[in-house]
Amino acid sequence: MAATPPVCDFGWKAPDFALPATDGRVWSLADVAGPNGTLVMFICNHCPYVQAVMDRIVRDARDLAPLGIGVAAISSNDATQYPEDGFEAMKAEAAKWGFPFPYLYDESQDVARAWGAACTPDFFGLNAAGELQYRGRLDASGRNPAPPDARRELYEAMVQIARTGTGPRDQIPSMGCSIKWKAA
């Protein structure tokens, strides 16, 4: 089922985490943070919205690193109901795409709840102080291939955050599959 996150709550302070990654390390928000900002993405392996933009996610992460933007991805889906989102499958996905960022596993879903993650993909662009400045979409393509001239909305927002500490005031929310929550 498609879901859309709320609009950006400018200045919201991102809560810390300590999550295992597909590279064998445990990462905190401070470990991920770049000197000029941080991009935290909630993604998963099976979502068609994520799969449609994965090449651009990897491209943008590579292009943001030299600008001092740290990047991480978190998978929080219930792997019991969606085994393709389990930790071993995450390792394979990270290797397949050559992720230039840690791919973190939020098995308890506590981080997704603390961050208010709504869908995959859900992008959180933070400034150097760890304050939310972007909660928009990657680009206008949704779950379709992007035209060659598609504006790189997420990338441009993160460049602005790296340079000024603030994100664009006009943002279009991401859209994707809802987070697959565990049964209560």
Q: Distance (Å, rounded) from C-alpha 73 to C-alpha 109?
A: 14
pLDDT tens digits for range 14-65: 999 999 999 999 999 999 999 999 999 999 999 999 999 999 999 999 999 9
Q: Look up the pTM and report it.
A: 0.95
Domain ranges of the chain: 2-178
pLDDT tens digits for range 96-142: 999 999 999 999 999 999 999 999 999 999 999 999 999 999 999 88
The CATH class, in words, for 2-178 is alpha beta
Nearest residue to 81 via CA among 44, 135, 27: 44
Nearest residue to 38 via CA among 152, 167, 153: 167
- pLDDT-derived band at 148, boundaries 50, 70, 90: confident
